[in-house]
Amino acid sequence: MIEVEDMPGTGKVPPQTMTLCSTAEDKKQWQDMVGGKTAAGCTVKDYEARGATISYAMQCQGGIEGATLITVADENNYRGESRLSLKVGDKPATIRSKVTAKRLSPECRK
């Protein structure tokens, strides 16, 4: 489930449920990015993995800044929250999102 709050001009966006297939390679690419190895136009800083919690901050091109906190319950479940600050025209905006994820299958089906 993904929830987004404080999107300028749109009001509250209703919670959305999405089904995605994530492979071991996807997880490795994400870990490389947040661990500071790659960042696709963003600088990852303050990365910390402690126990079941992962946190990091990001500074991206165009003045976008963000912070993320992820808590891993077990190998099949995690939850997290992110905050992005940016400007929409001349107005500052904050996008806050929450995610809850659950693995439904050990492999991707096409």
Distance (Å, whole) CA 64 – CA 37:
19
Model pTM? 0.71
Extract the residue ranges of the chain whose pLDDT is less than 70. 1-13, 33, 36-40, 110
* Domain range summary for the chain, segments of one domain joined by +: 2-102
Residue 5, pLDDT score: 59
The per-residue pLDDT for range 38-65, each reduced to its tens digit, is 556 788 888 888 888 889 898 888 888 9
Give the 3-state secondary structure of 5-70. EEECCCEEEEEECCCCCCCHHHHHHHHHHHCCCCCCCEEEEEEEEECCEEEEEEEEHHHEEEEEEE
